[in-house]
Structure 1
C-alpha cells in the first residue's frame, strides 16, 4: 500500500471521513474510525505509514451516508451499494485470495466467503457476537448479496445457532475439528480453491454487522467486540471497543506484572502491538498476551530434561503422555534456527491436500514457480501459522510466504 494523505497532523476529522487513498489501488479510501483531532502520523523507514493516531473528541461528529430499510435495499442498484462501501471505507473489509489484498473498486469475485467459526486459540465465539445484533448481520449479508451476483459461502461450526436462509446465492457449510478448521483458507480449500482464474473474496463476520448498520443507520459503525485473553491476563473477558483502539489502554490494569508481549490478533498469527503499532488491527478480533522470556526461562540443553511441563509436537518430552495437558506458553522459541526436517509434523497441522513439506521447502528457497505449482497461491500467512509453531527449524513461514506472494504478484 502507498498512501496519498488527505489529512495532516492537527486536522479535525469526522467519523467516516477519508484519511488517505491507496495509490497502488486507486479509489480505495481508508476512513477515520473516530471523530476528533489527528494527533500524530507515524512513519517508519522510507516513510512507510505505520499508524495515524486520533484523539477522540468529546462530541464525536460523523459523516452521514444514505440509509435504507431491508425492503428498500432490493431497489438499490449494485453501483450505489458499491459507491457507499467505497466512500465509507467499508470496501477495505474485503480481501482477495490469492494475495490477501483489498480488491480493486471495479473488480468482481468468483465467490465470497464468510466464516462464522473461529478456532484460533482464545478467540471470541462468533455466534455469541452475532447474537447481540443478528438483524444487522442478516442485513449486511443482504447488502453483499445485492452487491455482486456470485455465490456467498457462509461457513459455520456444527449445529450452529445462527439461522440463515440459504438459497441459490447464499450457501451454508459446516466445519468441525480443531484449528485451523475455522480459517477461511481451510474452508475455501475444500469448497472452491483460490487461483488466478478463480479469485475469491473474504470478509469478517463483524464487518458484515458493520455494513448492515451502515446501510440501516447511515453512520459508519466501528464497534469491535474482542477477547482479551492469554496466560498473563488476570481475568480473560470480552471487551467492547472500536477498530484501531489503543491496546495499551485496553490492557491497562488487566495483566500480571512482568514484561509481557501484547499481540493484536491470535497468539500464533497476530502481530506484536508495540510503539506505533500498539493498536487493534483492522482484521483482528482478539488481543492475546503472553510473558516475554527472561534469563530464568532459558535452559542449557533443555531437550535432555524429562519435560513434564514442556510442549513438543513430537514425543520428545514426558508431557507427550498427557495429550490434553494445558500449557502456559511464553514468547520463547525454545531453540535456534536449524534446517527443515521432514518428519511429518507439518502434515499433521496443515489439513490441505498438498505436499506440505515440499511446499514449505520451496517457500524458504523462494522458488516461485514451485510455490504456485504446489498450491501456495491458496494460502495466507495465517494458514501457515501452525506450521511455524511446530517447526523444528524455527522458520516463520508466514513472512516467507508473504515475500513469495509479493514476488509472484510483481513478476507474474
Structure 2
C-alpha cells in the first residue's frame, strides 16, 4: 500500500454550481476553433488559407521554431476565418464543420510494439503532440528532449472541477493505450497520481506501465506541478512532461483507431447555470449551443473556459480552450457595493476571519469576478505561503521576476513552477497583484535567456 501524500497548505473554495453526473445533449456546434493563444511560447505559422477544405487531423498551423509540431483541425469542414489581433497576431483559426466528420488516417498499432521514434512520429504527424507539455516552463514539450519522467494527474481539485472518473467513463482501453504510448517516450517512469478519497475508477488503480502515487488534501493537491514537487522535483537541466487524463485517452484513440478523435465531455458549472451538468462535445467547439437555455437571466455574467482560478474569459459564442474540460459561468460583479468592507459579509468568502462567514466552513458561495478593491502597493502579508504547498519563497520569487534577476529566479525555484501553481496566491493577494501573469513573464524571460 503506497503512502498517501497529504497536502495541507492550500485552500478549497466552495462554490455553488457543481455539475451533476448527468450527460445531456446540446445541438452540435457549427464552428470550431484552435487558438494559438492557448499555447504559451508558440509562434504559429499557417498551413491553410481561408476556404481550404480540411479533415479532422489536418494541420492548420505549426510552430515556427519547431516545424515538426502540428496543430490539427478537430473536425472536417472548411476554414472560414483566421482571426487576428494586434500586429496581425493569430488569435483563432475557425473551421465550419461538415455534417459528418471525415478523418485523416494515421498508423493504427499497439504502442507496446512500437519504438519511441515511431510513437513520437505518429503524435507529431497527427497533432496530438500539442497535448504533451513540459516542466520547466509549462510549454509544449520539445520532441528532441528525453524527459526524466511523465506525470498524469488523475484528479482535479480546482473549484467546481469536472469529475475525472465521469469524464473517462467507458474509456479504460483507450486510457491504457495512451499510457502505453507515453511509457515509450521516457526512460523513466510514468507517474499516475490519484486521490484515494475520491473513489477513483479501477482503470487508474489497475493501470499497467505506470507508477501510481496517492495524494489527498486541499487544492492545489490536484495540480501536477505540486505533485511533481513532492515526487521528483525538477532541477536545472532536467525536464518532465505532463499530460491530462482526457488527453491520454486522445493518444490512446490514435493508436487504437488510427484517427485524430478529440471528442470529450465537458462540465457546464457555476452559480449562473440553471442545471449544472456534462455535455459531449469536441475540443475547440463553440459554447453557444451548450449555453443555450441553460443560463439564469437575472444578472450580467462571465463565461470562463476552464476554472475560476486559471480559466480564460470568453464571449458567449466563444470557443472551448484546448486543455479545458469545464465551462464555468459566474456573475460579472461589476456593480459598486457601498460600504461593502464594513458589512458582516455573511455571504462573502474569505480565507481569513475578516467576515463572519468563517463561522460556516462548509457553506457554498455565489462569488463574482469583482476584485473588491483596486491594485495597490505590494503588501507582504504571509498569505502566499499559506496556500502554496511547495518549498519555494513565493514573494521573493515574484520580486526577482519583477526586477528580472535571472540568477535569483533560478535559486528561488522558477524551474519548478507554472502560473497555475500561483493561482491561489493571486486569489488571496491583499494587493490584487496579477501573480499568474508575472510568473508567466518570468518563465518567458527564462526561455529567452536560455535560447
Q: TM-score range by the shorter chain?
A: over 0.9
Q: Determine whether 1:354 maps to 2:392.
A: yes
Map 1:278-357; keep pairs closer than 5 Å. Answer: 278-295=318-335, 298-357=336-395
Deviates more, 1:358-367 or 1:302-311: 358-367
Aligned to 1:20: 61
Map 1:188-227; keep pairs closer than 5 Å. Answer: 188-227=228-267
State the TM-score, normalizing by the size of structure 1.
Answer: 0.94
Change (3 A) 1:9 1:142: same
Number of positions where the alignment pairs a residue of Structure 1 with one of Structure 2: 405
Counterpart pick for 1:115 among 138, 148, 153: 153
Change (3 A) 1:275 1:255: closer
Following TM superposition, by how much is the alpha carbon of 1:203 offset from its aligned partner in structure 2, in angstroms? Answer: 0.5
Aligned to 1:56: 97
1:35 and 1:62 in contact (8 A); partners too:
yes
Q: 1:88 and 1:196 mapped to 2: Cα distance?
A: 31
Listed as ranges, the gaps of 5+ residues in structure 2 are 1-41
Q: 1:252 and 1:366 mapped to 2: Cα distance?
A: 46
Q: Determine whether 1:124 maps to 2:169.
A: no
1:117 and 1:156 in contact (8 A); partners too:
yes
Deviates more, 1:244-253 or 1:181-190: 244-253
1:247 and 1:273 in contact (8 A); partners too:
no
Change (3 A) 1:300 1:367: farther
1:119 and 1:181 in contact (8 A); partners too:
yes
Counterpart pick for 1:65 among 99, 106, 112: 106
Q: 2:244 and 2:186 mapped to 1: Cα distance?
A: 17
Aligned to 1:238: 278
Counterpart pick for 2:88 among 34, 47, 50: 47
- Cα displacement string for residues 231-260 of structure 1 (whole angstroms, at most 9, x for unaligned residues): 111110011111101123321221111321
2:234 and 2:416 in contact (8 A); partners too:
yes
Q: 1:50 and 1:187 mapped to 2: Cα distance?
A: 32
2:331 and 2:369 in contact (8 A); partners too:
yes
Counterpart pick for 1:81 among 119, 124, 140: 119
Change (3 A) 1:275 1:287: closer
1:363 and 1:397 in contact (8 A); partners too:
no
Map 1:371-382; keep pairs closer than 5 Å. Answer: 371-382=409-420
Aligned to 2:225: 185
Q: 1:192 and 1:254 mapped to 2: Cα distance?
A: 43
Q: 1:44 and 1:91 mapped to 2: Cα distance?
A: 26
Map 1:153-192; keep pairs closer than 5 Å. Answer: 153-158=191-196, 160-163=200-203, 164-165=205-206, 170-192=210-232
Aligned to 2:5: none
Q: 1:275 and 1:21 mapped to 2: Cα distance?
A: 28
Following TM superposition, by how much is the alpha carbon of 1:129 offset from its aligned partner in structure 2, in angstroms? Answer: 2.2
Change (3 A) 1:210 1:345: same
Following TM superposition, by how much is the alpha carbon of 1:195 offset from its aligned partner in structure 2, in angstroms? Answer: 3.2
Aligned to 1:274: 315
Aligned to 1:369: 407
Following TM superposition, by how much is the alpha carbon of 1:374 offset from its aligned partner in structure 2, in angstroms? Answer: 1.1
Deviates more, 1:361-370 or 1:173-182: 361-370
2:176 and 2:207 in contact (8 A); partners too:
no
Question: 1:262 is paired with a residue of what secondary structure?
Answer: strand
Q: 1:323 and 1:343 mapped to 2: Cα distance?
A: 23
Following TM superposition, by how much is the alpha carbon of 1:287 offset from its aligned partner in structure 2, in angstroms? Answer: 0.7
Change (3 A) 1:210 1:166: closer
2:133 and 2:139 in contact (8 A); partners too:
yes
Counterpart pick for 1:145 among 174, 183, 196: 183
Which structure carries more helix by proportion?
1
1:230 and 1:236 in contact (8 A); partners too:
yes
Aligned to 1:98: 136
Structure 1 vs Structure 2 CA RMSD: 1.7
Q: 1:166 and 1:124 mapped to 2: Cα distance?
A: 21
Q: 2:58 and 2:408 mapped to 1: Cα distance?
A: 44
